[in-house]
């Protein structure tokens, strides 16, 4: 799986950093609504691939309830992946995961779809999350705002 990830990142010409003895890869891309930092984790023993991207907005404590409601509303309609919010640190992220069998090779197309699903989703929701974090709109209004976003463009 590690070699497939590296081949994909090289094919996309995305800069990356390998960590934890080839079990984690960090990379960043420029998208429609800012830069996205992404963490790819490979657990070969369990056969789990995870793609986690981070939302770069600081969430003030007084917005935690609204952010939590937003995430609950957003997650309900998602086909793949989920938002996560750490109430202790204020870290907001999106995660996509799939299980793989080491005996059967995962295609680059499948890997690319999971990574792009992740990047597309975090980018699509970023303006609404920023509005929610820094203005007085409600979680319901912020989720409704997402329906009008444009497609993902990566540099």
* Structure confidence by residue, pLDDT tens digits, 14-73: 999 998 777 899 999 999 888 999 999 999 889 999 999 998 888 889 999 999 999 999
Q: Which of the pair, 3 or 77, is modelled with greater confidence?
A: 3
Whole-number pLDDT of residue 135:
93
Q: What is the C-alpha to C-alpha distance for residues 114 and 95, in angstroms, rounded to an integer?
A: 10
Domain extents in the chain? 2-146
Using the CB atoms, write b or e for 107-135: b if 16+ within 10 Å: eeeebeebbebbbbbbbbbbbbbbbbbee
- Verdict on whether the full-model pTM lies above 0.85: yes
Q: Could you tell me what percent of the chain has a pLDDT over 70?
A: 94
Q: Which CATH number fits domain 2-146: 3.90.1150.10, 3.30.1460.70, 3.30.70.3340, 3.40.50.300?
A: 3.30.1460.70
Q: Are 38 and 26 in contact (CB under 8 A)?
A: yes
């Amino acid at each position: 799986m590690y070699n497939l990830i590296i081949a994909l990142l090289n094919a996309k010409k995305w800069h990356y950093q390998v960590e934890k003895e080839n079990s984690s890869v960090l990379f960043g891309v420029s998208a429609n609504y800012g830069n996205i930092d992404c963490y790819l984790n490979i657990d070969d023993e369990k056969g789990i691939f995870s793609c986690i991207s981070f939302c770069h907005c600081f969430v003030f404590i007084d917005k935690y309830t609204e952010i939590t409601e937003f995430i609950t509303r957003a997650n309900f309609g998602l086909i793949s992946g989920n938002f996560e919010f750490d109430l202790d640190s204020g870290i907001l992220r999106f995660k996509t995961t799939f299980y793989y069998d080491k005996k059967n090779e995962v295609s680059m197309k499948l890997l690319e779809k999971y990574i792009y699903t992740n990047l597309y989703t975090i980018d699509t929701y970023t303006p609404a999350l920023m509005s929610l974090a820094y203005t007085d709109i409600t979680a319901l209004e912020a989720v409704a705002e997402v329906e009008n976003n444009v497609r993902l463009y990566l540099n």
